[in-house]
Amino acid sequence: MAKSKVLVVGGTGYIGKRIVKASLAQGHETYVLQRPEIGLDIDKLQMLLSFKKQGARLIEGSFSDHRSLVDAVKKVDVVICTMSGVHFRSHNILLQLKLVEAIKEAGNIKRFLPSEFGMDPARMDHALEPGKVTFDEKMTVRKAIEDAKIPFTYVSANCFAGYFVGNLSQLGSLTPPMEKVNLYGDGNVKVVFMDEDDIATYTIKTIDDPQTLNKTVYIRPSENILTQRQIVEMWEKLIGKKLEKLSISEEDFLASMEGMDYASQVGVGHFYHIFYEGCLTNFEVGEEAEEASKLYPDVQYVRMDEYLKQYL
């Protein structure tokens, strides 16, 4: 079967650049949307040019120009959107509604993967404010996709290792502490941690797979289902010493939101659901969904003890 042609929207972003690389590596003709809105952002332009060197094709299109989006979509079989949905970077989830309109008009797309890649928003209707907005907006996009009868795959990739493992899941930093570490409660709630390149690899594998059509795919391989305490212990083993552990109660953690800026409040809410409620692992992957590592056992995913070694 011929491999699908892929358009990546948001290709210069954190996950987007990895999706472009994985698409090329798996032999797909890969297009990246080049938006005039990048203006004088030389880093983004140079990244786009580097994609071109690797074999990707750049295609101009703007969210403020519907016709340009339709024309871009018509060149491919699959559209993957990776626009940011985190408030401390840029939050553009609802811009995808314009992309949905373009896909609907083009009428040729075999699969659309909207910007998800975190917790499954369908399971987060009870989420705390103000962080609930992320899930509500993703569900708005899902409704538009399904109302337009566009074939889809939703990817729930859980916790990005760059933001949750390197820092031992500490808020406000990206590198591991060497003396003291905050534990959420007893630190024993099960979480799923994933290397971002592996997320991209699994994502690209779904696009031509009939088993993932109109389904949610959870990326949660068994060896990466770990507690925060286990991540801390892996780091302690690597550095050869014990860290002082400070347990934060659920009440104190939620109380810490008071007086924080909006983006920080969103982050604290999401951390609460992950590390206190266990929202990533407190359900079974049912028949209406798929688990990526079972579908694609050939993927040699990075284990988190290996991941942590780069911080030594």
What b-and-e string marks burial along 141-180, b requiring 16 or more CB atoms within 10 Å of the CB? bbebbeeeebebbbbbbbbbbeebbbbbbbeeeeebeeee
φ/ψ of residue 28, rounded to 5: -90, 140
Q: Across the strands, what pairs with 193? A: 159
21 is catalytic: no
Catalytic residue (one of 104, 132, 138, 205) = 138
Q: Are 174 and 166 in contact (CB under 8 A)?
A: yes
Distance CA 235, CA 251 (A): 27
Residues with active-site annotation: 138
